[in-house]
A and B are shown apart, each in its own frame.
Chain A
Amino acid sequence: MAGRDEPGGVTTARLELLHAEGVAVSVDGRLILAPTTLAFTRGQVVGIIGHNGSGKTTLLRCLARQYTPTAGRISLGGRPLAAWGARAFARQLAYLPQQTPASTGLTGRELVALGRYPWHGPLGRIGPQGRLAIEDAMRLADTEAFADRLVDHLSGGERQRVWIAMLIAQETGFILLDEPIAALDLAHQIAVLGVLRSLSRHRNAGIVLVLHDINMAARFCDTILALRGGAVIAWGDPAAIMTAEVLETVYGIPMRVLTDDASGHKIGVPV
């Protein structure tokens, strides 16, 4: 169905594209994000890496319509972000901020159910399809055990998984996450990234996530986007990024790339 135009409406093909053209952000005359042109498609996992203050979060917030860039335009499905209605946009794109509120007063299931708001709106009810989406999301994020527990009482990692379940229940084409695995233990880092990856494979979701761990990014992402000082310095598949030269440019310290004999995964380590 790719590229097939349907008369009188946004085509499915166009909805597959989140497009940033010349997007730049400056605060008080200081350039946080240099003019950047990027296109994200559905069915792909894109990892954004870079040192602290390299503009990763800013880029993600612009894409998620949380922040209006000072220059350039971003469009989803060919329509500028500003032209989307609040709920219509939330049905297309979900976003998990770096910091989620520590206290919500809600149980796990209640929080995940909030992900259905874009579908039922302020006065509607959650239908059978919605309930199915909620159960499904909780299963995928391995959070069924927290359904009736208060989110406030969960550990940081457990809480993070509930929030990710909420995003999944939102059933959007794109899911943007800002350091989603920072608080998780190793096993759940692998599990969560695995879920996101399977969402991209089986439900054609476009995943964009900020990651700190270059090795996790190399292992789970289809494409890696490297930022430095507010500018994109590398963009390509993990094999192209995982070289000593590129990593050195990204992090500003000498790096070496090893290959794990058993799995064949590339591993970057500082020298």
Chain B
Amino acid sequence: MRVSKSFARGGESQACALAAVLALVGIAITLGRWVGQVPGSSWIEAAFHPASGNVAQLVFHFSSLPRSSVAAMSGAALAVSGAIFQHVLRNPLASPVTLGVSSGAQLALVAATVLAPTTLGATPEITALAGGVASMALVFAIASAQGLSSPALILSGLSVGLLCGALGHVLKLFNQESLAAVFLWGAGSFAQDDWSVAAALVPRLAILTLVAAFLMRPLRLLGLADESARGLGVSLTLYRTAALGVAVCMAASVTAAVGMIGFVEIAAPLAARLAGARRLGPRLAIAAVIGAAILLIVDALVQALNEWFGASLPTGAATTFLGAPLLLGLLPRMRAGVAGETSGWAEAGRRLQRPGRLLMRLTLLTLVALVLATMIGRTGLGWSIIGPYSWSALAPWRGPRTLEAFAGGAMLGTAGTLLQRATGNPMAGPEILGLGAAVMVGLAGALLIDPAASQVTLFTAGATGALILLIVLMGSGLRTRFAPDQLLLTGIALSAALDAVIFAFLALNDPRAGVLLGWMSGSTAGADARSTSIMVVLAAILVPIGLLFARSLDILPLGDPLARELGVSLTPTRFGIMLVSAALTAGAVLSVGPMTFVGLIGPHVTGRLGAHRSLLQVPGAALVGGLVMALADWLGRIVLAPFEIPAGLVAALIGIPYLVVQLLRRVPARSA
């Protein structure tokens, strides 16, 4: 106790010192870059009256100076925005990113560019703000069923973010060429060629800061528990809405001006708080300085790197990439801070009298569905059912893709069951933990090295990516004893970082981006007999291997102490499960893409059907997962016929609403 008290007293000066050091580093690096451009003696001249014939001075005036100003302003604004979010929602991980504001803004911009390029696309700021506010409103609408409790807000924010992402992918898929600029924006670029962006940001941020200052006193009380704040006469809803409104506008202004700059808004306030800034006012100020310093430093580094390699890597991708590990490092220290339900394995549905029958029925259903999906099609002319005569002609075209979708879904269902049980976290799934994204990065890496990489190479690279992520996740999860929500947020943080890598890939206009996008959408259209048989064989090998872990999987959800008590060798068992899950996910991503959420649906549905033991749930989830994917593939084929929606995207559009419902159901009605 004594230790923490003295820490609290000396804390704010400690936080100030941290901010000062970071600010000095940021300024030093920036000045260092300026010295390289224009000699220090002529800075004032270059800043205010650049000689028109002097290219260095012109670059300094029209590019370097506005760029640094915009970076510093954005960092400060994002940090303040994040700090307000965290304070109002009493959750250290609340931010525009985790509440779906940024994804909503991005989706609006993508949609505007595609659907109405001349009108809406021309006013990106308003479009982005509208999108951000709309998705935020949707998040609040969903969470209001739970009395706007903090965990409900975060969880619905994350799901709406995912939904926006999936919809964005649909749009991108149909309009690849026109969206290069949006990709660049999506990855957050500070490149400036005049003072217009900086000039636009100044008045907006000034007004918003002023409003925030007026809200300071009631805001301080919002950090208390709801009951006590109400007892002190604070109108919760009013101030909460007003404060969040200010924070959203700040984030949206920055996002519209420079694009998605990830994680500054989480990392800067968190750093301020962990360094000891307890009181709200100083915390906002210190967070702002830290945020500005972080962006100055990262931007300077990115510029130097870009000059070195002759690339144009956007800064936002870099902050997201750097921010995620930082967040991972901070998470274990926030043990008590993360709200949410911490226990709870699958809820008890009905029990089965004869478990074997469930598998029989599912198998039968699967066979019928596979045959029907192959038989029934739709052309531009209408529905068609192929009879025995044309079966031999059409089955070779429709059969492989249906089977491949089924195999992919089966692998995801199995991986989901393994992960949910191994972590004791009913919301764990290959998609939510970021495994899909990790596989994508592995694939991107393999493509970078060898553009004509074989299926086996790709599979190995993808599985390696997933395994590395799993080891990192389990490592950080173990330190925090697998608090379920923390593990989820860790996975989402990593997933965002990996997405940033993919974004950068796409932003660099690499021709291989198209291949990556194809995988991302999870299209099965290219399936042939060879690729399909590889996937079917892979599923036929890996799913039974997953079944070998059934006994340990029954025990692991009880938690480490009991698993140890019963003699389960935790480390080797976990590693084996991780290895199999990584391989399963890699196979699935190659066939149906990274974001299907079948890995969540499969085990859940099977559990609801009454399979509570692993021996039943693993094969059951494989069958259900396969069925859902085969259905998604069929729907994608017929809904917009003759155009096709990739199976992975259809599955995502089915899976994400399911995720929202699941997330909200397990959140207790009162604030945790």
Q: Which residues in B have their C-beta under 8 angstroms from that of A85?
A: 567, 569
Q: Please determine whether B344 and A122 come into contact, CB atoms closer than 8 angstroms.
A: no
Given A103-B343, A106-B612, A122-B549, does the pair A66, B561 have CB atoms closer than 8 Å?
yes
Q: Please determine whether B348 and A114 come into contact, CB atoms closer than 8 angstroms.
A: no
Q: Is A102 an interface residue (CB 8 A)?
A: yes
- Closest residue of chain B to A152 (Cβ to Cβ) is B348
Shortest CB distance B573–A (Å): 8
Q: Please determine whether B552 and A122 come into contact, CB atoms closer than 8 angstroms.
A: yes
Q: Please determine whether A118 and B345 come into contact, CB atoms closer than 8 angstroms.
A: no
Q: Please determine whether B351 and A94 come into contact, CB atoms closer than 8 angstroms.
A: no
Q: Is A79 an interface residue (CB 8 A)?
A: no
Given A95-B561, A110-B613, does the pair A86, B568 have CB atoms closer than 8 Å?
yes
Contact with B along A58-86 (1 / 0, CB 8 A): 00000011100000000000000000011
Q: Is B335 an interface residue (CB 8 A)?
A: no
Tell me the bound Cα distance from A100 to B566 in angstroms.
13
Shortest CB distance A94–B (Å): 6
Q: Is B565 an interface residue (CB 8 A)?
A: yes
Q: Please determine whether B565 and A105 come into contact, CB atoms closer than 8 angstroms.
A: no
Which of A88, A114, A120 is most buried by chain B, counting CB atoms within 10 A of its CB?
A114
Q: Please determine whether B566 and A90 come into contact, CB atoms closer than 8 angstroms.
A: yes
Given A103-B344, A150-B351, does the pair A114, B555 have CB atoms closer than 8 Å?
yes
Q: Please determine whether B567 and A86 come into contact, CB atoms closer than 8 angstroms.
A: yes
- Closest residue of chain A to B613 (Cβ to Cβ) is A110
Q: Which residues in B have their C-beta under 8 angstroms from that of A89?
A: 567
Tell me the bound Cα distance from A102 to B424 in angstroms.
12
- Interface of chain B: mostly helix, strand, loop or mixed: loop
Q: Please determine whether B558 and A104 come into contact, CB atoms closer than 8 angstroms.
A: yes
Q: Please determine whether A105 and B564 come into contact, CB atoms closer than 8 angstroms.
A: no
- Closest residue of chain A to B567 (Cβ to Cβ) is A90
Q: Which residues in B have their C-beta under 8 angstroms from that of A91?
A: 567
Q: Is B557 an interface residue (CB 8 A)?
A: yes
Q: Which residues in B have their C-beta under 8 angstroms from that of A110?
A: 613
Task: Report the count of interface residues on A (CB-CB < 8 A).
Answer: 36
Q: Please determine whether A114 and B343 come into contact, CB atoms closer than 8 angstroms.
A: no
Contact with B along A92-118 (1 / 0, CB 8 A): 001111001111111100100011011
Q: Which residues in A have their C-beta under 8 angstroms from that of B570?
A: 86
Q: Name the one of B343, B348, B567 contacting A117, with C-beta atoms under 8 angstroms.
A: B567
Shortest CB distance B479–A (Å): 15
Q: Is B540 an interface residue (CB 8 A)?
A: no
Q: Which residues in A have their C-beta under 8 angstroms from that of B562?
A: 97, 100-101
Q: Please determine whether A117 and B566 come into contact, CB atoms closer than 8 angstroms.
A: yes
Shortest CB distance A170–B (Å): 7
Q: Is B554 an interface residue (CB 8 A)?
A: yes
Q: Please determine whether B564 and A86 come into contact, CB atoms closer than 8 angstroms.
A: yes
Q: Please determine whether A122 and B551 come into contact, CB atoms closer than 8 angstroms.
A: yes
Q: Please determine whether B548 and A118 come into contact, CB atoms closer than 8 angstroms.
A: no
Q: Which residues in B have their C-beta under 8 angstroms from that of A114?
A: 554-555, 558, 566
- List residues of B whose CB falls within 8 A of some A CB: 343-348, 351, 424, 548-549, 551-552, 554-555, 557-559, 561-562, 564-570, 573, 607, 612-613
Known: A66-B565, A91-B567. 4 other contacts (CB 8 A): A66-B561, A107-B351, A118-B567, A121-B551
* A/B interface sample: 7 pairs, CB < 8 A: A89-B567, A97-B565, A102-B343, A114-B566, A117-B555, A120-B551, A122-B552
